[in-house]
Chains A and B, each alone.
Chain A
Amino acid sequence: MKLTGVVRRIDVHAHAGSMPTVTFEESIEHLERMEREADTDKVIVSSARAVFHDMLAGNEETFAITRRSPMLYMYIYVDPLRERESLAQIEKYASLPHVAGIKTRPEYHGVPGDSEEYLRLFGAAAKLDLPLLVHTYSLRDVVECRRAAEKTGLRMILAHMGGFEWKPSVDALRGSRNLWLDACSTANDYDKVGYTLDVLGPSSLVYGSDATLLSPWWTISMYESAGLTDAEKHAIYRENALGIFGRRLG
């Protein structure tokens, strides 16, 4: 497939650190090279260590990495089961350079996205103008996050857009505000992007790769196969992310 109308991309969903699969390369240098090859000039990463195991050590590691790289920005990982520590992590990093937002995985912690714990964390992030990237792999995850976005006013990117339940998830977001979808997921159903565009329009989507777990080209192929106009590509690959993160990607 020939790529047309290539836009410099902003990748709102990537990882620093080791992922749970067989791979030759998962270094930061590898991530940066892969992102450059995919015409991406800004990449927001969360720490694999923080996501899977140790929030404090992972955030610290990622902050050090993003300080050294002009293209990398950081999500502060937050854990609702460690609310006090998470609030302290938000306070600690929010005003530092190359810190773009917060990240969490409700289903991993067994805590609904609209729980009291999360509402307090999201409220704190909203006050500091820190958008959220949140892992959603079911319709339930998506619906709970919509409720949380409505209650807190936090700008949220719903990573994986509900996984294999992407279609009812898209339907569940009709009329929503402050929510964007990131299509990266093993679910690459032929009509995923087209349907989302029909129901929610190009302002609802952003580009996230899930590198280094997934190849950036997996998700790029979904967008490139959807017959996007140049204006839609600009919106999805870049402008929507700039609107969400604003000065934090400056």
Chain B
Amino acid sequence: MEWIDGNTFFGTWPKRKLDVPSEELVRLLREAGTSRALTLSLAAPLLHAVEGNNLTRLASIEHRELVPFGAVDPRKYTGEGAVQRLRETGCAALRLTNRINAFPLDIAPVELILTESAHAEITAFVDVIGWGDCTTLERLAERCGCRVVMVGVHYNFLSEALVCMKRSNLLYLETSRLNTPDGVRVVSSEVGPERVLFGSGAPFSYASSARMVAEHSRLTGQELDWVSSKTVLSLLTEECRT
């Protein structure tokens, strides 16, 4: 079974002693039994989105295990077609780094970015940090017509994620923080495994934790197929699926 990680970063994290160049990320993924990963250079949220996107693209050319996210920084966004350019330069999906950059979701630049994403037919991966974020994303996804992956759903607000996913087919759930024994199975059963995708949060988090939880959550083989790789593949831009 192939495991594709929908939530990784690489590069330097100066807030801790964490230096994970792309080749080190690939090693961590291999060790965890993960064959490919969506990833973003930490230069994107920490320094400049364009520079980070360039580094991400280069890493994905160097290592075929790495699939490039593209980032748009709402702090620099003025509504000039940045998402379409990401699409044209080969990004597989959009990554908003609101956990790292601490910007709220219910702001005009985010809404414009998601509207652009819908037009560019590119899926947005967005962090959910606490109560209210899933509801905000549900409203934005419906208003903008954009597919959104909620990254980092935790058991504290799993009920909110489920209600929102039942109301909007545009929402998907990433599992890096869903650490309850049957959380992945609950979501899979309530809204379908084709809307649940594995992510680890590596290198900040252990690359294998979310995977081991999913593997032992008593999913059927078919459900696990979706969670491990099929869902994330279905969300990538067509040219990045293989």
Binding site for B on A (CB under 8 A): 1-2, 21-25, 30, 34, 37-38, 186, 188-190, 211-218, 220-222, 224-225
List 19 additional A-B contacts (Cβ < 8 Å) besides A1-B208, A23-B180. A1-B32, A21-B156, A21-B180, A22-B159, A22-B183, A22-B186, A38-B216, A188-B206, A188-B209, A190-B203, A214-B179, A215-B179, A215-B180, A216-B216, A220-B212, A221-B213, A222-B209, A224-B208, A225-B32
Q: Does B158 contact A (CB under 8 A)?
A: yes
Tell me if A22 and B162 are in contact (CB < 8 A).
yes
14 examples of A-B residue contacts, CB within 8 angstroms: A21-B155, A21-B156, A22-B162, A23-B183, A24-B186, A189-B205, A190-B203, A190-B204, A215-B212, A215-B216, A218-B209, A220-B212, A221-B209, A225-B32
> Which residues in A have their C-beta under 8 angstroms from that of B155?
21-22, 213
A186 and B154 in contact (CB under 8 A), knowing A21-B180, A214-B179, A222-B206? yes
- Enumerate chain A residues within 8 angstroms of B159, measured Cβ to Cβ: 21-22
**Quick check: A214 and B180 within 8 Å, CB to CB?**
yes
If the complex has contacts A1-B208, A23-B180, are A217 and B215 also in contact, measured as CB distance less than 8 A? yes
Question: CA A105 – CA B68 in complex, angstroms?
Answer: 44
Q: Is residue B33 within 8 Å, beta carbon to beta carbon, of the partner chain?
A: yes
Instruction: Please name the residue on chain B nearest to A193 by beta carbon.
Output: B206
Considering residues A25, A38, A217, A220, which has the most beta carbons from chain B within 10 angstroms of its beta carbon?
A217
Q: Are B179 and A37 in contact (CB under 8 A)?
A: no
Interface majority SS on B: helix, strand, loop or mixed?
mixed
Q: Closest CB of chain A to B25's CB: distance in Å?
A: 11
Q: How far is the CA of A23 from the CA of B155 in the complex (A)?
A: 9
> How long is the Cα–Cα vector from A186 to B153 in the complex, in angstroms?
11
Closest 5 CB pairs of A and B: A21-B155, A217-B212, A221-B209, A221-B212, A218-B179
B92 interface residue (CB < 8 Å to A): no
The residues of A that contact B33 with a CB separation of less than 8 Å are 1-2
Q: Which of B156, B182, B204, B207 contacts A225 (CB 8 A)?
A: B207
B interface list, Cβ under 8 A from A: 18, 31-33, 154-156, 158-159, 162, 177, 179-183, 185-186, 189, 202-209, 211-213, 215-217
Contact A190 B202 (CB under 8 A): yes
Note all chain B residues with C-beta closer than 8 A to A22.
Answer: 155, 158-159, 162, 183, 186
Q: Are A190 and B216 in contact (CB under 8 A)?
A: no
Tell whether, in the assembled complex, residue B216 and residue A213 are in contact, meaning their CB atoms are under 8 Å apart. Answer: no
**Interface residue from B18, B156, B204, B206 paired with A221 (Cβ < 8 Å):** B206
- Expressed in whole angstroms, the Cα–Cα distance for A218 and B207 within the complex equals 11
Report whether B182 and A23 are in contact in the complex, using a CB–CB cutoff of 8 Å: yes
Question: For A189, what are the chain B residues with a Cβ–Cβ distance below 8 Å?
Answer: 204-205
* Structural contact, B182 and A24, CB atoms closer than 8 A: yes
- CB of A195 to closest CB in B, whole Å: 10
The smallest beta-carbon distance between B13 and chain A, in angstroms, is: 10
Contacts of B216 in A (CB 8 A): 37-38, 215-217
- Cα A218 to Cα B185 with chains together (Å): 15
Q: In the complex, what distance in Å separates the CA atom of A117 from the CA atom of B32?
A: 46
Q: Are B208 and A225 in contact (CB under 8 A)?
A: yes
* Residues of chain B contacted by A23 (CB below 8 angstroms): 180-183, 186
Across-interface contacts of B189 in A (CB, < 8 A) = 24
Cα–Cα, bound, A153→B169 (Å): 57
Residues of B within 8 A of A211 (CB): 181
Select from chain A the residue with minimum beta-carbon distance to B187: A22
Is the pair B181, A212 in contact by a Cβ cutoff of 8 Å? yes
- Do residues A186 and B208 form an inter-chain contact, with CB atoms below 8 A? no
Q: What separation, in Å, do the CA atoms of A189 and B211 have in the docked complex?
A: 15
Known A213-B155, A217-B213: A25·B182 in contact at CB below 8 Å: yes
Q: Which residues of B contact A212 (CB under 8 A)?
A: 181
| B77 → chain A closest CB, angstroms | 30
> Contacting B208 at CB < 8 Å: which of A37, A215, A216, A221?
A221
What's the Cα separation between A211 and B155 when bound, in Å?
Answer: 13
